[in-house]
Structure 1
Amino acid sequence: MEQRIAGTKAKGAVSVGRQERVSLTLVWDLTDAPSLSRAQGLVSPVVACGPHGASFLKPCTLTFKHCAQQPSQARTYSSNTALLDAKAWKPLGRPGDHTSRDECRIHLSHFSLYTCVLEAPAGREARKWLQLAVFCSPLAPGQSHLQLRVYFLNNTPCALQWAVTNEQPHGGRLRGPCQLFDFTGARGDQYLKLKYISEGWENVDDSSCQLVPHLHIWHGKCPFRSFCFRRKAANENEDCSALTNEIIVTMHTFQDGLETKYMEILRFQASEEESWAAPPPVTQPPPCNRLPPELFEQLQMLLEPNSITGNDWRRLASHLGLCGMKIRFMSCQRSPAAAILELFEEQNGSLQELHYLMTVMERLDCASVIQNYLNGTQSGSPPRLRAGAQENQGLELDEKL
């Protein structure tokens, strides 16, 4: 699973003939994060750059994801300590100094530990995006009980990978795509309420409602809650086997006091016939096809303004498979059009495919820009790559999980 943590160096950061091996370590000990007040929320992983204290002739750049809804309220912190020593977290600059819409970008003079904290001004409401991840073990024939677990995670790749790793000893697998949740620091605890179980199954737990303390989520502790189900015993004259070879569950989750205003519905389904229990082959994700910078900026400028007919960045988001909640998430970003174009890059779409989508959307202005670029590159020099697609030379990066 891609962690979206990266380190790059400026040209000349390492003297000629010198080779420096460094590591980017995702810290999974949740106690290593800063001690936070009720007004502060953790919105990123803790990243350790090693070797501790290493410095270069020119600054290196560290980038990692955050899940704050307002980047201007997100503040980066550093602990100038070794990974295994007691941490001494201190803020780096002011809120918003090192954050873009969903990413922290820090220019490093030396290597240490880094993270990001949400700090809303007095009287302002701080919010962050969660991802709700449902895990379950395989449903085997004759199995009498089944437990599913719902994780409340920061909406970052690192947090989801933490949950995937935490589930491995139990044989748990992620069931379906994660769902986004708009979580606010000014509200109360989170509830997970069981609303429906398919016929032939019953809830074993004493309650059909589970509570997650607010600060466990706000401080990024990756909490989960579980429900355990049992197959009902069949009556003498009734065959329940056809009913119990699959299970369907519906749950509602919401913050205290907001059940009637904002709630997410979680649906879960598993059956004995599914082959999902087999672990997928481990494959290296292919590199992203980056759009050329000048083309990216032109398309961003054209797609950014909201159109009355809706054939702007929102229509492109729908064509790329985003649902209403995820489109709402994108609308909160500093540049929704840039976010959608980056999503297209991550799906490794080609310029020809993007040209076709713009034609279908009746955005002939965008289609024309793409066509003009294609015509120019076919007869001219090869296109430049956007930042992130260029290779780092002279500096080896070793990401350790």
Structure 2
Amino acid sequence: MQGMLSDFLPDPGVLQFILTQAAIIVLLIIIMKCLHSRCPWLPNCMIGQDAAQENTEVQVDPGTLGSTSLSDVPCPKATSQEMEEFFKDLHSPTDNRVVRKMLLHKLLVFMTKEVDHRGACLMLADMGISLEVPPDAVSLGRVERVSLVLVWDLLDSPHLLGTQALISPVVYCGPHGASFQQLCTLSFKHCAGSGKYVRVYGSDTHLLASKEWEELHNKPSRRNRICITRDECQIKLDHFSLYTSVLETYGRPEVHKWLQLAVFSSPLSPDQSHQQIRIYFLNNTPCALQWAHCNEEPFRGSLCGPVQLFEFANTSKDMFLVLKYLSEGWENIDESASQYVPFLHIWHGKCPFRSLCFRRKTVSPVDSPSQNTSEIIVTMHVFQKDLQEKYLEVLRLHITESGCQAERVSPKPYCNRIPRELFEQLQMLLEPNTVSGNDWRKLASRLGLCGTKIRFMSCQHSPAAATLEFFEELNGSLHDLYKIMLSMERLDCAVTIEAFLNDPLPDSPGSFQRDKDQENQCCCEGNTTSLASECDSGLTDLGSVEERDICSQTTDEYTAIQ
């Protein structure tokens, strides 16, 4: 029997080898699990289910913030003592000063006040964020500490789909869960250029907890307390928490958001052999530009002139930066003269930037005595892929020892564009068909279109818009259009054009200023849909890419027929 058992038992050396290998495999599995759950800085930690859904966000490009390569897995939880010190620092009165401080790996900009029954207003200067605590919100004889915090930590932002865009900062009102006898008003900026598709999100958690973002418009108790204007969100708060806003595109290509292109550089030194410039692609909000200033402090970079606005379309097209001209005596050290920024990095508000580095050429004065290397002149083109004919910005920089200056060079227009606000008003007036035909059809006839072309135009999505687009293609001026309307006896259109010529509205989202009383009247009245429409009456979402494309196709057809 003992002999039979010895035949089935493995050799002791083989058994020891198997056990050793099994122990090594188990140890490796344990180490990998620990690293995956505890080290958020591993570049491959993002690869998972979320990464499979949005492959473009897994790629780490050198011009984005370091946080874009972080894992969605949160950092190890802070200890009770660390959390106590965190909130103690955060909720300590700041004596009416705005404080910027790194607390538990979070870069925060905040202000804390002690508020009594008289109320108070907390405002983050240059950030476009304010919190108003009205009188009698705090009981007589009591004092409450109130904090207004701008969170510069991208990991606290909502996790967005490809159809959603982040258009506002993350704002925290503290202490979390605090309630008052009167509703407080929180205001912060957004960059959608219209309130039509803007949705306010909230996370009913404190600042160090895992965020649970949800749309506040879906809550009946919150819906009537939200007012969204063309560039601002106003929320009536019954208790404090985290808030931001998101642009819901619902697959509409005409939806867009506004960016600000900010160029930073340091002054040029005589003995300097290399010079670098950095171009930021930021949401058009005040706090985004302040973040860029903060990020430039270690490099001693300064803003080169005013920022340039850019209309970023919802087309899933990446942004391209192309170096077009570099002054003599300097050379680009990069292999390529163009760089790109992934669409989602901009669409999701990750504040990406791109850098260009130039090297001074070593040329003897005898060979090239006329070269002046004490200054650098740079010209760049910025555009979305395949959309450079519609959305193109030309940036020109002049860098000297005294500093850097930037100017916007308007590209040669393909046609004279009617300002969008005026375009929408004229479209609304000319669209309805009249019995006498004194509508878009008469305008088309005055522009030289025959009956066949007018019938073709009537099949378009918006015949009036197509007619106005055709007028643009003819490079007509507003004065020409004004005279045509007078000859057509369309005095309503003529008065609209005349009013615009006398008091023009700049074609940018931040320049549309409305009477504050009108904005206050629309606040917190009716449901969200009517509220947004009231706030945007006469200022509907402009620059529809889809309709513009239809009109462009129409004019191409006219050209082909002619």
**Structure 1 range deviating more: 257-266 or 93-102:** 93-102
Alpha-carbon distance between aligned partners in 2 of 1:123 and 1:274, rounded to the nearest angstrom: 43
| Alignment partner, residue 51 of structure 1 | 175
Counterpart among 207, 212, 216 of residue 88 in structure 1: 212
* Pair 1:181-2:310 in alignment: yes
Distance in 1, matches of 2:374 and 2:307, equals: 25
Q: Quick check: 1:217 aligned with 2:396? A: no
Quick one: which amino acid aligns to residue 50 of structure 1? G
What residue is the counterpart of 1:121 in the other structure?
A: 250
1:2-401 alignment to 2 at 5 Å?
2-93=126-217, 97-123=226-252, 125-235=254-364, 237-238=366-367, 243-274=372-403, 306-308=496-498, 310-314=500-504, 327-330=506-509, 336-338=512-514
Contact persistence 2:398–2:404 (CA under 8 A): no
1:12 partner letter: D
- Inter-CA distance 275–261: structure 2 relative to 1 (3 Å threshold): closer
- Cα–Cα, structure 1 residues 337 and 135, in superposed 2: closer, same or farther, change >3 Å? closer
Q: Please give the secondary structure, in 1, of the residue aligned with 2:276.
A: strand
**Higher share in strand:** 1
2-structure distance, mates of 1:42, 1:188: 17
Instruction: Measure, in 2, the Cα distance between the counterparts of 1:48 and 1:152.
Output: 24
Structure 2 counterpart of 1:49, which letter?
A: C
Contact 2:304 2:404 in 1 (8 A): no
Aligned AA (1:98): C
Distance 1:31 1:168 in 2: 22
With structure 2 as the length reference, what TM-score do the two structures score? 0.51
What's the offset of the Cα at 1:268?
1.0
Any unmatched runs of 5+ in structure 2?
Answer: 1-124, 406-494, 519-562
Describe the SS at the equivalent of 1:140: coil
SS in structure 2 opposite 1:75? Answer: strand
Aligned amino acid, residue 14 of structure 1? V
1:38 maps to a residue whose letter is G
Q: Deviations over 1:58-104 (max 9, x none)?
A: 11000000001221100000111111111110111169953111000
**Cα pair distance change 1:82/1:211, threshold 3 Å:** same
Which residue matches 1:368?
A: none
Please name the residue that 2:478 is paired with: none
TM-score (structure 1 length as normaliser): 0.70
Amino acid at match of 1:91: E
Give SS of 1:167's match.
Answer: helix
Greater radius of gyration (CA): 2
Distance 1:165 1:235, change over 3 A: same
Secondary structure of the structure 2 residue equivalent to 1:125: coil
CA separation of 1:309 and 1:4: change in aligned 2, threshold 3 A: closer
Give the C-alpha shift of residue 260 in structure 1.
2.4
Q: Distance in 1 between matches of 2:314 and 2:516?
A: 27
Structure 2: distance between partners of 1:340 and 1:229: 48
Q: Matched residues, percent identical? A: 53
Report the Cα distance in structure 2 between the residues aligned to 1:122 and 1:197, rounded to whole angstroms.
40
Whole-angstrom CA distance in 1 between matches of 2:210 and 2:502: 50
Q: CA deviation at 1:309?
A: 6.3
Q: Which ranges in structure 1 are unaligned for 5 or more consecutive residues?
A: 277-304, 318-326, 343-401
Deviations 1:279-315 (A, max 9, x none): xxxxxxxxxxxxxxxxxxxxxxxxxx8442644431x
RMSD over equivalenced CA pairs, Å: 2.5
Q: Do the aligned partners of 2:202 and 2:242 also contact (CA within 8 Å) in 1?
A: yes
SS, match of residue 12 in structure 1: coil
> Displacement, 1:242?
5.8
**Size of the alignment, in residue pairs?**
300
Contact 1:306-1:312 within 8 A present in 2 as well: no
> Structure with the greater relative contact order (CA < 8 A, sep ≥ 6): 1 or 2?
1
